[in-house]
Amino acid sequence: MRRHEEGHTFYGYLPGGASGGILPASLGDVPLDFDTLQPYGCFIGSAAVIVLSNQDTAKAAARNMMRFFEHESCGQCTPCRAGTAKTNMLIAKDDWDKPLLAELSQVMRDASICGLGQAASNPVDYRHQILFQTN
Amino acid sequence: MAVRFTAPVNETLIEIADRLGIEIPRLCYKAGMEAVGNCRSCMVEIKGERVLAASCCRTATAGMQVTTNNERVRKSQQLVIELLQADMPEREYTRHNEVDEWAVKLKLESRGSRRAPPCRQTCRMPPSR
């Protein structure tokens, strides 16, 4: 990741699509492979790498992903249908209710019917957000 | 408390639990109707499986170990009921409200209560738009 756009610096990236997690630039040299991202709480998923610059924020990326998941949720099961909607409302605020978000994350992971609901909370996972020093 | 059980091949885990007197929450399940497994309030933990299972849709297999009441299972059941409660209207339309009844049984705090406006001010789970 050496090429820079004019006026942008490397801030972070999503290694594996919308549900693979978010990593900061300091971990930009982690090899992109099946077992290399697990220690950082991420996975390769679709290997669709999304690069974020200093004009983005991890929170903004999380909001973008969660809006996507809420929209794509088929609506069958409570954890995903209601969980994505509630998570969106909670993360729209400046201050995130981390314990409540963690509970929502857990029920979505454990009780959703399909992989969309199970992975939807990955972008807001505190393990990823906490790696970003600011915002 | 561990209970050993035997069951016929087509009996679901929720049917087995009912037969053994073990209480599992349920909303979309009704005996005699096809189980669809959508509400996700009947979740149980099956040893060796990554995610929880809907007990209304799963049949027992030899050697299967099922947990119906550990922290992880209870938390999941509570959250499902809480999510549904947060979206319910202020007034009840039915005398026997299953969601509220399960909330009491699962000892849910009034975090998502939709009962009185003052509670709503302090509750953490936002109601739907």
Q: Looking at the predicted structure, is the pLDDT value of residue B121 above 50?
A: no
**pLDDT value of residue B57:** 96
* Contact criterion met (CB below 8 Å) for A73 and A117: yes
Nearest to B27 by CA among B17, B45, B14, B16: B14
> A106-126 pLDDT, tens per residue?
999 999 999 999 999 988 886
- A107: tokens are 């029920």
Partners of residue B55 in chain A, C-beta under 8 Å? none
**pLDDT value of residue B22:** 95
Query: CB-based contact (8 Å) between A92 and chain B?
Result: no
Nearest to A113 by CA among B56, B84, B10: B56
Q: Which of A78, A105, A114 to mutate to test the interface with B (most CBs of B within 10 A)?
A: A78
**Range of lowest pLDDT (A4-13, A111-120, B34-43, B118-127):** B118-127
What is the CB-side half-sphere exposure of residue A104 using CA atoms within 13 A?
Answer: 33
Q: In what order do the strands lie in the sheet with A10-14?
A: A23-24, A10-14, A50-53
- The answer to whether B79 contacts A118, with C-beta atoms less than 8 Å apart, is no
**Range of lowest pLDDT (A20-29, A75-84, A93-102, B111-120):** B111-120
Q: Looking at the predicted structure, is the pLDDT value of residue A88 above 50?
A: yes
| Phi, psi values for residue B44, rounded to 5° | -135, 160
Question: Which one has a higher pLDDT value, A32 or A41?
Answer: A32
Give the DSSP letter string of B74-87: HHHHHHHHHHHHHT
Helix, strand, coil abundance in chain A, percent, nearest 5: 45, 10, 45
**pLDDT value of residue B116:** 38
- The per-residue pLDDT of chain A, averaged, comes to 87
Q: Looking at the predicted structure, is the pLDDT value of residue B15 above 80?
A: yes
Partners of residue B38 in chain A, C-beta under 8 Å? 76-78, 113
- B115: tokens are 């009962």
